[in-house]
Amino acid sequence: MRKKLFKMLICCMAANVLIACSSASGDVSDSTIDEPTENEEQNQQDLPFGFCALSSRTDATQTYHITGGGYYSYPVPESATGVVVLTSDGGDMKAAIESAIKNSKNKVIIFDGSNGDFIVSSTIKVTVSGKTLLGINNARLCTQWALTDEMKKALNEAGVPSMSTSDGGGVLVNGTEVKEQAEYNTRKILIEMTGDISENYRQAGIFTLNNCQNIIVRNLKFVGPGSVDVGGTDLLSCTGTKNCWVDHCEFTDGLDDNFDITKSSDFHTVSWCTFSYTNRSYMHQNSNLIGSSDSEATGFLNTTFAFNWWGVGCQGRMPMARVGKIHMLNNYFSSTTAYNGINPRKNSEFLIEGNYFDKGVAKYYSQNDAVAVTWAADNYIAEATSIPSSVGSTVSVPYQYSVVPASQVPTMVKQGAGATLFR
């Protein structure tokens, strides 16, 4: 099934997607791809593509050879060096994981899930380059702290869901001033229930990639504590990071968001990933933020989202972006609880094509002060009779690609997205 799936993908999507071909008018030119042989298909299905393989948001010739640690498939060759395999010992794995990633001799860090979940007490912050993080055997990275039913009950009894998320805050017992009423009361209650005046639970994430470059993250499952409005960390956060490919990963129940890209990060591709929330989450089920404020520096945050699935429990930020050129290609949306899906905001440009918004996804799009949004004709929206109007000039991207017909997207993404590799 996977061979057939990827043959369909490769026939529809340029294998040499690193080669750009913008026409003089600014539109992306058509590409013609010969169907690969079986051997070529095996080689091509693992290629990074989109913005992660560029160093310019406009110039097709300025490619970037993204390699991670030199390998990003499994098994790695027996001759490979710089490969380390981690397994869980059942305890807090933060120190072991952080040490393995920061060790300059280690280029490929393989998370082997055969001994169980990797438990992480707080987000692992690293500044590295040329690394691959690879999961095998159902590798799950899980936060140690999690919301409990008792905590959610206390928040409900205090009326937190009806409180303001814009003003009316106060000063916590630890001296921290919180502007929003809902966040203030949430944090106040959690401090009282956990006894953690330092609020270490707000660091319940997995990775923060700070000022990194040439990073590949594949086939990993990220499991968070449940979303709640405490101004906490994300499951995965890229800050100031360049040329990053996150592929075939699963993100569930991030504390703040599932996966954010901010602070002048640039040239990212997020492909074949799933985003969701379970009943562990309480509120603030916002999945993906690109750009953390309206004052974010312009010219950065260029990102490709391709063949991803925003599923159960996602309510907003699918993604929400300030700044950057965002390419939404052949993604699948099925969350019926969404209050906002794709959300272009200040200084952003969006190219939206070949996406599928399933039945029940009524709140699938809104834009606020975007520079330009191009809705291609080949999107499918079950709850609408037409696609939204485009805004501003036509948006194009400086790399070659083909669009899978939107009608094929649900089947293709359901079968291929998530940590489905190396089985």
At 164-216, the pLDDT tens digits run: 999 999 999 999 999 999 999 999 999 999 999 999 999 999 999 999 999 99
What is the rounded distance in angstroms from the CA atom of residue 235 to the CA atom of residue 251? 7
Position 42 confidence tier, pLDDT thresholds 50, 70, 90: very low
pTM for the whole structure: 0.91
Q: In the block, which residue shows the tokens 């606020």? A: 368
Between strands 372-375 and 343-344, the pairing is unpaired
Give yes or no for residue 370 having a pLDDT over 80.
yes
Taking the domains of the chain in order of start, what are their residue ranges?
Answer: 50-138+204-416, 149-194
Torsion of CA 165, 169, 173, 177, to 10 degrees: 90
What residues contact residue 106 under an 8 Å CB cut-off, 6+ apart?
69, 82, 83, 84, 100, 131
Give yes or no for residue 36 having a pLDDT over 50.
no
What is the rounded distance in angstroms from the CA atom of residue 16 to the CA atom of residue 33? 9
Give yes or no for residue 30 having a pLDDT over 60.
no
Give yes or no for residue 14 having a pLDDT over 80.
no
Concatenated DSSP letters of 78-125: TT--SEEEEE--SSB-HHHHHHHHH-TT--EEEEEGGG--EEESS-EE
Beta carbons within 10 angstroms of residue 13's beta carbon: 24
Amino acid at 167: D
Beta bridge partners of 270: 246, 305
Amino acid at 109: I
Question: What would the mean pLDDT of 213-241 be, rounded to a whole number?
Answer: 98
- How do residues 152-167 score in pLDDT, each as one tens digit? 999 999 999 999 999 9
| Average pLDDT of every residue of the chain | 91
Q: Exposed, middle or buried by CB within 10 Å (0-12, 13-18, 19+), for 166?
A: exposed
What is the rounded distance in angstroms from the CA atom of residue 356 to the CA atom of residue 337? 16
CATH hierarchy code of domain 50-138+204-416: 2.160.20.10
